Structure 1
C-alpha cells in the first residue's frame, strides 16, 4: 500500500506461481498463461474450432482462395463457387438421376469426388471428365491423395479403403482409431489426418498407409494443413470469412447456396459452469489480518465470475464462515477474523458460447492502510477503527493505482513495447512527424534513431540514414558543388603559386557545352535549365538524392529530404532505372550496374568474337586500329 506503515506482501495465483488447486470441476487452463476458463463439453477441441480443417461433409474447399464445392443432397446437385460470388451448378443440364443419395464431397486440385449410395464418383478437370466409379458398401467420407489415390471411409468401420481414380482397389489402411470417423484429410508426405468422435469427445489422429495412427494436437494440425475460410456452420447454413475489396468480410449461405441475412449463432462449445477450490494458502504470520483480493479477468457479456473466501487459524471452519464478494467486483477487502490460512473458491459461469478468463488472483496481506499513520486516539474503539480502515482503504486503493501508473510510466517511453497507436504521441515528444503511409516498424526505427539523427542533422550521413530507414534503400548523394567550374582557384603552371589557370572568371568556355563556344570534351553535356543561371541554380548549395528504381515514391522521398536537408541548401530527387540518359548525370547503383562478365572462352579475360579482335577484318593493306572498323591484330592492323 502507498501509505502503509508496515511492509506489505502478497501472494499470486496464476500459471507462473501456481494455483494450489485442491478441487477443480469443468475448468481448464491452470498451466496456461492466458488464464483459467471453462472447459469444453468433451475432451479435445470443439467442433467449431476444427471447421477450417474439417468442414461439414457437404462442403469441400477448392484449389483457389474463393473456390468451394457445395453438395445439396435433397436436390441431388453439386454447386461450385470459383470466384467470391454466387454458387452455380457443376453440371449444367445434367440428369439428376446420376446421384441417388449423395452424402459428402471432396476436392483436390483439379480432381473431384462425390460419395453416393454404395459408390464414389471421381471426376477430373473439376467435374468435366468422369474418371471412374468406386463400388463400396456404406461409404461416408472420401479424400483425394497424391498419386491419383482415393481414400474412402465406411460407416461401419474406422479402417480406410484405398482406390485409384479409375476404381481399382489398392488395399486397406488399418487405423485402429476408436469411435467413428467424421473427418478425413490428406496432407504432405502422404500423411492422413482423421477426426474421430467417441464417448470422450473429439480427437485428432495422424498417420499413414505404413505409419501407425497417433493422437495429435490442433497446433500440429494447423502447422501441417492450411485452414480454409469456413468459420461457422449450423443446421441452417454456413459462413465464409474472405478478403474483399473493402477488407475482410464474412458472408453466410444456406445449405442450398442462397444468401443468409443473419449469421448463424455461435455454437455451444464451453461448459456452462465450473468451480475451483484452492488448498490452504499459508501467510506465514500467526493471526494474520488479510487485507484484500484483486482478480484480473476478462468477463464477456453473458458470463460471470464469483469469488468466495474464508480465513482460519488452524484450518478448521464452518460453511457459514465463507465471505462472498459482491457480484461483478474484482477488488474487495477481506472481512474475516485474523488467521494464518486463507482458502479461496472461484466460480465461472457462461451461456455455453463464451467463457470468462481469469488470468491472476492477488492476495494482499497483512492489512496495511493509511489508518496506521493516525494517532492511537483514533483507533481506540474497535468498531470505529474497523470502519476507518475500510473507509481509508478506498483512498489507498486509488493512490495505489496512481502509484502503479507512475511506476509504469517509463514503459510508455519504450518505443519497442508500446502499442502502435501510441507511436505518434511518442514521436511528438521528440519533434518527429509521421506520414500516413509509414508502417509501425518504420516508425519505431525512426524513434530509435532520433537521438543520433538530431545530433548529426544536416550532414550527408543523417540524410542517408533517414531515407534508408523509411524506404529501405541507401541513396546516393550527388553534391553539385564538386562540379562547379566558375572562379576555380588552382595551382598555376609550374607550381609557382595559386592562379585561375586556363579558366576565366565566370567564363563560358568550361561551363555546359554550347555550340561554337565550348571545346568538345572540355564541357559537360546537360540539357535542362537556363545555361546563364547555372552558377546560381545548378551548383551553389545544390545536391541530388539518387535512388534505384522501385525503391520509393519520388514525392514521398522529396518531402522527407526537404525536412532533413539544411535550410540553406536545395535538393532534387531522382529515381533511376532508365539507364544512361544523354545530357544527364548517371550514378553507379542508381541507373548503372556493373555485373560479372560471362565465363571466358580463351584464357582468363579473352572471349572470341566478343572482347578480342581475332576475327576477320576488312580486306586490303594494313592500317592502324580505327574505331568502327573490324580488324584482326597483325593481319589487317598495326598498333602504333
Structure 2
C-alpha cells in the first residue's frame, strides 16, 4: 500500500513474470538475469545453417580427446602412441604401462582429473595412471559395461559412457599407495580379502540410460559436478542434450540445426560448448548453449549470442579436463604437433534476440469495475531498445489470447523506451523516468544504469480511458536491436484510481459517461483529459509524500544509504574504521543493540572479531523451547532446514522464556578460525594435575568444569616436563615462599586473554584483528593475539569445548628457493603431476604479452592495438600475436 492508500501488486520474481510457472513452458527469447533478478532479452543467435559431414563427424567423435593440465602441458594420441608437450619445445612420448588383456592399441578416450590422474579408456576398460607416481597403474573393468567415452569428476574418479548401451557409469576409488613390498598372507592374523578400503571400481548407474532411438555420443562433466550427455538422432533430426539428475538422464533440449556435434565441454556451470563440422573440417565457431534455457513448444534451443571462434584447431576436440573455460590444441594447418593450448573465448559483443514476450500472473482487484491506477518500473532502457506493456482488464480471470493472436481482446499498450512506438497507437501512454535512485524509497537500486519509471494505466483511443475491470492481465513484450536489450528489475502495479479530479474538484468536473459510451472509440472527453492531466502532478506529489513517509528508513541500518552509515553510527557511539567497507559497518550497526550489552565481556570480544571477519547479524530466529537456552556471547548451533550452522548468540528477545534470538554467523569465530581462551580458564589444566574435583561449581579454581584427562597446555606445559615438576612442587609446598609462587603464577593468568587466529582469507590481517580485540576488551584485561600455525591444538581446543577444526586439505605446494622446507612437518615429496614428463625441472619463463591501445573507444569507431612491447625470454622470439575479445 502506498502513501495514498492504494493497493500494490509487486511482480518481482520469476513465477510472477511467467518465467517458471509449473506446467508451462517459459518464454523462449526472454531470460531471467540472476544478478539483478529481472528480465532481459535472451542471448541468442539465429538457428545455425551448417553443411555437416555426418561421416566425418562420426569419425571425429570416435577418436580419443586430447588432455591438458593446469600448468599448461598437454597430451594427445598421434595415431601410434601417446605424446605430451607444452613444457618445452617439441614433444616427448608419454608412456602408459602395458595392459592386460592386450588388444586394440588405440585408446577410445583420454581424460585428466583434478587429482593428477590420467584416465585411459582402452579395450572397454579404464587404466588409471597417476602422474605423481603415488601408486601403481591400475586397470578397472566391468563385465556389463563397455567404456568408450570418459569425463573427469571434480571429487576424483571419472564418469564413463557406454555408447552401445547409452548408459552412464561412475569410476570410484583409488589404488593403494606404493609403500614397498606387501606382507604375504599369514595364518596367525586375520587379514581382509581386499586390503584396499576404497578400491578402484566401475559402478554403472542403472537408471542413467538413454531411451531407445538415441545414440550416445558425448559426455562432459562440469567443475561443480554437473554431467551432460549428447545423443544423436536419426538422419535429419537435431542432436539432444541430456543431463544427469538424481540418477536419471533428463532431456534438456534439442539443438536446432545441429545433427552431429563431435566434442563437448562445459563453459562455467550454466552452459556447454559443442564443436560441429563444416564439411570435412571443424566449424569456424563452437556453439554455446545455456543448459537451463527456456524452450519453445518444440523443445529446440538456439546458441547463445556470443560468437566463440575456434582458431586453427590441431585436433577436432576439446581437451578432456575439468575447467571453467574449454581449451583445445592449436597449430598451423598441416603441422605434425600442436603448438599451443588455446582457450575458447567469445570474440564479439553479445547478440540478443530482437524480440521476446512473457505473460505475468493475473491480478485480482477484488470488486467488479475496479480501476487500475499506475505501473511502476525499475528498468534500464538503452537506445534502440524498449518494452511494451500490454494491459487488459476484465471481469473474467481466464487469460485471454496474447496481442496479435486470433480472437485477442482490446489490449491497451504502454510504452517504455523508444523502440516499439511505431507499432502502437499514437496516443499510447509512455513511461517517464522519475528523480529517485530506485523504485523503493532510499534504496540504491538494483541496476547500475537503471532508473525508476512510472506511467498511468489507460486505454488509448477511447472516450473514457480508465482501465477498469476486476482482473488485470499483463503481457510484457521486450524489444531490442540485436546489440542491446532492456532490463526490467522490478514491476509494480497500483490499483484503485487516486484521482485529484474526483477527490478535490466539484461534481461538475466528474466523468458522466459509462458503459458502452465510455468504451466507444474516439477522442477523450474533457473530464477524462482533466483527470489524466492532474495525474501528472499527482505522480510528482505522491513521490514526495512517499519519500517523507519513508524517512524512518534512514534510521534502519538495513535500509539507510551507504553515505548515511557514519551519521547513523554516531547516534550509538560506533566509531568509523578507516577503509571499512559499508557492508561491514552495516552489520555492526545491525548488531549494535546486542553487542552494547556484551561490551567488556569475552562474548563482546568474540562478537567484534566475528563482525570484523565477515560475520552477518540475524535477528528473529526462534529458539528451541525444549533445548537449553544459549547464553549471550556463547557459541551455539542454529538449524536452517536440514543444515546446522555454528553461531554466536547475541541475545534473546525475552531472556525469561527464550522467544526469538539474535546471533552472528559466517565469520572467523563461528567458522573456527578464531579461538579465544581466557587466562583464568587455564587453571583447570593445573587442577587436572592435582586430580581436583572439576565438578564443584563453587570452587573458584575449576568453576564446575567437566572432568578430563587433559594435562597439556599447547606445546609449553606437559605433565612430566621440568616446568611441570617445579609447578607441582610449588603447589604442594606449604612454605610461605611456595604459596607466594603459586599466587603469583595464578595471578599471572588473571585478567589475560589469548586469541588464536588460524590463517584464512578473512583473518589474514592479524594487526587489524588485534586492534579490534583490544578495543573491545576492558582496560584491565590484556589481550594477546597470536597466529596459530596448525588447525588443531588438542589441549587449547578441548579447553574451549572444541576437539577438532575442520578445514579443506591444504594443496600440495612445490619447494621454492629461499624458502624453508621441513620434511615430516607437513611437506611432501611427490612428482610434478604434469602430463609433459619433462616438467621435472626448472620451467622456462613464459612470454609476457603487453597490449597498448586506447582505454575507451566509441561504438563503430576504428582503433589501433599494438603488441610491440611484448617480450619472449630464454633466447626465444615472438612469432605472432593473437588478439582476442575477452
Using structure 2 for the length normalisation, give the TM-score: 0.39
Q: State the match for 2:538 in structure 1.
A: 396
Work out whether 1:305 is the aligned partner of 2:387: yes
Q: 1:344: how far off?
A: 3.1
Select the structure of larger CA radius of gyration: 1
Cα-to-partner distance string for 1:572-607 (whole Å, 9 max, x where unaligned): 5445799xxxxxxxxxx9899799xxxxxxxxxxxx
Q: How does 1:617-632 map onto structure 2 within 5 Å?
A: none
Q: Distance in 2 between matches of 1:591 and 1:162?
A: 39
Instruction: Indicate the residue corresponding to 1:9 in structure 2.
Output: 7
For the 8 Å contact 2:221–2:227, the answer to whether it is kept is yes
Question: Could you give the per-residue CA deviations for residues 66-111 of structure 1, whole angstroms, max 9, x where no partner exists?
Answer: 677575989998657xxxxx7668952679xxx9999963124454
Report the equivalent of 2:497.
367
Task: Check if 1:124 corresponds to 2:132.
Answer: no
Alignment CA distance shift 1:384-1:526 (3 Å): same
CA RMSD of aligned residues (A): 6.9
Is residue 2:642 matched to residue 1:476?
no
Aligned residue in 2 for 1:433: 575
Does structure 2 retain, via aligned residues, the 8 Å contact 1:196–1:202? yes
Alignment of 1:535-574 (within 5 A): 545-550=752-757, 555-556=767-768, 559-560=771-772, 563-564=775-776, 572-574=782-784
What is the CA deviation profile of residues 108-151 of structure 1, one whole-angstrom value per residue up to 9, with x for unaligned ones? Answer: 445435679x99995724499998899xxx99733579999994
Instruction: Count how many residue pairs are aligned between Structure 1 and Structure 2.
Output: 476
Q: Is the 8 A contact 2:41 2:353 kept in 1?
A: yes
Looking at structure 1, the residues matched to 29 and 579 of structure 2 have their Cα atoms a distance apart, in angstroms, of 45
Query: In 1, Cα distance between the equivalents of 2:507 and 2:226?
Result: 79
User: Residues 93 and 141 (structure 1 numbering): CA distance in 2 closer, same or farther, change over 3 Å?
Assistant: closer
Within 1, Cα distance between the matches of 2:82 and 2:562?
50
Q: Structure 2: how far apart are the matches of 1:131 and 1:397?
A: 75
1:326 is matched with which residue: 415, 423, 429? 415
Select which of 19, 26, 29 maps to 2:28. Answer: 26
User: Measured at CA, do residues 311 and 466 of structure 1 come closer, stay the same or move farther in structure 2, by a change above 3 Å?
Assistant: closer
Instruction: Give the secondary-structure state (helix, strand or coil) at the position aligned to 1:326.
Output: strand
2:478 to 337, 348, 351: 348
1:179 to 187, 193, 214: 214
Question: Would the alpha carbon gap of residues 123 and 399 (structure 1) be closer, same or farther in structure 2, given more than 3 Å must change?
Answer: same
Correspondence for 1:142 among 134, 150, 164: 150
Q: Give the 3 Å change call, closer, same or farther, for CA 547–181 of structure 1 in structure 2.
A: same
| Contact 1:267–1:353 (CA under 8 A) maintained in structure 2 | yes
Any idea what the Cα deviations from partners look like across 1:462-500, whole Å, max 9, x if unmatched? 87566665674445378xxxxxxxxxxxxxxxxxxxxxx
- 1:560 Cα deviation after fit: 4.1
Distance in structure 2 (CA, Å) of the matches to 1:72 and 1:299: 52
Distance in 1 separating the partners of 2:165 and 2:607:
66
Map residues 39-438 of structure 1 onto 2, 5 A cutoff. 58=65, 60=67, 69=74, 92=92, 105-108=110-113, 109-113=115-119, 124-126=129-131, 141-143=149-151, 151=160, 153-154=162-163, 158=166, 175-177=209-211, 178-184=213-219, 194-196=229-231, 199=238, 201-205=240-244, 213-215=248-250, 234-236=308-310, 255-256=330-331, 258=340, 263-265=345-347, 272-276=354-358, 283=365, 288-295=370-377, 304-310=386-392, 322-328=411-417, 329=431, 330-336=453-459, 337-338=465-466, 339-340=468-469, 342-349=472-479, 361-376=491-506, 379=509, 385-405=527-547, 413-415=555-557, 426-433=568-575, 435=577
Q: Distance in 2 between matches of 1:263 and 1:344?
A: 39
State how far apart, in whole Å, the 2-side matches of 1:475 and 1:149 are. Answer: 45
SS in structure 2 of the partner of residue 92 of structure 1 = strand
Q: Secondary structure of the equivalent of 2:534?
A: helix
Structure 1 segment 481-630 matched on structure 2, within 5 A = 521=738, 545-550=752-757, 555-556=767-768, 559-560=771-772, 563-564=775-776, 572-575=782-785
Change in CA separation of 1:23 and 1:172 when aligned onto 2, cut-off 3 Å = closer
User: Partners of 1:75 and 1:378 in 2: how far apart?
Assistant: 97
> Could you tell me whether the CA contact under 8 Å between 1:378 and 1:385 is conserved in 2?
no
CA distance in 2, matches of 1:249, 1:140: 24
Which stretch shifts more, 11-20 or 328-337?
A: 11-20
Deviations 1:412-440 (A, max 9, x none): 65556789998666534433135469899
SS in 1 for 2:356: strand
CA distance in 1, matches of 2:576, 2:15: 42
For residues 583 and 3 of structure 2, the distance between their equivalents in structure 1, rounded to whole angstroms, comes to: 42
Deviations 1:390-430 (A, max 9, x none): 34333433444445555555556555678999866653443
- Extract unaligned runs of 5+ from structure 2: 46-62, 96-103, 175-201, 254-265, 274-285, 287-307, 332-338, 418-430, 432-452, 460-464, 512-523, 613-667, 670-674, 681-735, 789-794, 802-886
- Following superposition, the deviation at residue 249 of structure 1 comes to 11
Q: Does the CA contact (< 8 Å) of 2:325 and 2:343 recur in 1?
A: no
What is the CA–CA distance in structure 2 between the aligned matches of 1:576 and 1:384, rounded to whole Å? 80
Q: 1:29 to 1:466 in 2, by over 3 A?
A: closer
Shift of 1:547: 0.9
Shift of 1:264: 1.5
Q: 1:289 to 1:439 in 2, by over 3 A?
A: closer
Compute the TM-score of the two structures, normalised by the length of structure 1.
0.51
Moved more, 71-80 or 293-302: 71-80
Where 1:331 maps in the other structure, the secondary structure is strand
Q: Secondary structure at the match of 2:494?
A: strand
Structure 1 residues not aligned, in runs of 5+: 43-55, 81-85, 219-224, 241-247, 479-518, 528-537, 579-588, 596-640
Query: How far apart are the structure 1 equivalents of 2:218 and 2:560?
Result: 43
Give the deviation of 1:333 after TM superposition.
Answer: 1.5
2:372 is paired with a residue whose SS is: coil
Cα distance in 2, alignment partners of residues 560 and 147 from structure 1: 41
